[in-house]
Chains A and B, each alone.
Chain A
């Protein structure tokens, strides 16, 4: 009995620690700026400032930022899924000399931190005239080895006999990939797709290093600009934060299962 009560108390404390930052965020996003910091704290705003959510679109070019972020996330996710699943088929369902050595090279590089080669990467992009373009970020993130790894893990669980039978029926390898393997790997595609989308949406360092023109900024850079631009406008900052998190929350609630599966099967992140 005491044990049970103790466990529930601990659970309550954990829940509070996890949720308080979110409560603060939502509460502050609905306040007047001069009501954000008070002693004692008012968790429920005196009067709800719903107009914060309308005003923010005029304070910063939020529409442009959102557009750029959506564009980057969608294109990168699509390319990662396409090239990743395509390569994974070659690595798991076909036999040819050099295949395993090549795959080993892929996996080994997952362990190399991006920070260790971001400088030469940046120089290369600059020489190619690609810095300060959205294309640079697409190239940077669309060909990850992680995607190939995750998809191959899943393809290994699909029996080879299935491909053999399809070959007997006269399907080409491309046909087998498109008509048999791809439809069967929907859960893995969903996992990889969601993880890639969220990673790109939230990415800060990539855009921070590569994008200097304001009209190319993503929502994360825009959010950060509040800190300097309106140093004291905490309410707006929180309004922006809520808006930037909402799409991720919706995606997470819809695809929670795939997030957890992606993590549990690979034990790694992008």
Chain B
């Protein structure tokens, strides 16, 4: 019997091992190393040197990192609510019998799996201040002085946010659609019997029924926002100036370009903590609301 159990453990491990080895070497070890490195100074040639909290002090003094942190927050403040609204709106529009429904849903989802480079390049053209369709449209509806978008320090961030909303809304729409379909039909029928208007049904049946999905979307979107990286690199490369410089990019610049591994790891650690804290807050908030 003992031998059987021993054998079973061996076989079990043999299933997990191929993936587990790769996972430990490629992901887990770097994760732990990143934590340690944030308290060290290292150029990868000489032996690493323990410097305590020096990297974090430097982070508080570094203008670029502070700007990156602020820009990342701004991006999240725009990207999270706008994507959520757009995704919910699309889901509500497409949650009914309709000719061409399949086409609409597929079209709404497709931007999410479209190459990000192509998306960034196209939107850069659409946002072209002189000739782009966006500004031609704004002229057409009577706005004489449309923004300079990616060429302007004020409007580059909104341009990036709008592009990312367009790209991501279809993905979260799928989650909202699944949520809408999980609300029992009887609730709507009962509220109709009680004489509720369409708006009241939305407020008192649809929205509460969507709460679990909304919560999930909120977490996923917030975490995704704080990790924003490739879209910015391709669309504006952090510019003009430092107008759209974000945390991930600052980690890349300090770590891989400048070779400041310790300092870059300290910034990574801040990014990790931010993501962790946000997730925990949202879990806590949702638990409390569910109990009351």
Contacts and interface: CB of A to CB of B under 8 A. Distances in A.
A39 B113 contact: no
B162 to A, nearest CB: 10
B117 interface: yes
29 contacts: A10-B93, A15-B104, A20-B126, A20-B133, A24-B122, A24-B133, A25-B118, A37-B132, A86-B15, A86-B16, A90-B12, A96-B9, A96-B13, A111-B275, A112-B272, A113-B272, A117-B34, A123-B44, A143-B27, A144-B23, A148-B19, A202-B115, A223-B117, A227-B121, A248-B113, A248-B115, A249-B110, A252-B106, A264-B178
Interface string B12-49: 11111011111100111111011001000000100000
B131 A39 contact: yes
Interface residues of B, number: 86
Contacts, number: 249
Q: Please list the 5 inter-chain residue pairs (A to B) with the smallest Cβ-Cβ separation, ordered nearest first.
A: A143-B22, A90-B15, A37-B131, A241-B118, A83-B19
A87 B249 CA distance: 34
A15 B107 contact: yes
Interface stretch (B149-157, B201-209, B226-234): B226-234
B210 interface: no
B118 A145 contact: no
A204 interface: yes
A173 B269 contact: no
A263 to B, nearest CB: 5
A269 to B, nearest CB: 8
B217 to A, nearest CB: 9
A102 interface: yes
Given A121-B26, A143-B22, A252-B110, 12 more contacts: A15-B104, A87-B16, A90-B12, A116-B31, A118-B251, A118-B252, A119-B261, A124-B33, A220-B115, A220-B117, A263-B171, A269-B171
A115 interface: yes
Contacts of B126: 20-21, 24
B220 to A, nearest CB: 7
Contact of A111 (B5, B166, B276): B276
Interface string B187-213: 000000000001000000000000000
Contacts of A14: 89-90, 93, 104, 108
Residue with the highest number of chain B CB atoms closer than 10 Å, among A208, A219, A249? A208
A106 B22 CA distance: 12
A121 B220 CA distance: 24
Nearest to A86: B15
A22 B111 CA distance: 9
Contact of A96 (B8, B115, B125): B8
B18 A120 contact: no
A245 B131 CA distance: 25
A224 interface: yes
Contacts of B84: none
A119 B133 contact: no
A223 B26 contact: no
B80 interface: no
A18 interface: yes
B233 A120 contact: no
B220 A268 contact: yes
A189 interface: no
B26 A95 contact: no
B106 A21 contact: no
Given A111-B279, A139-B22, A237 B121 contact: yes
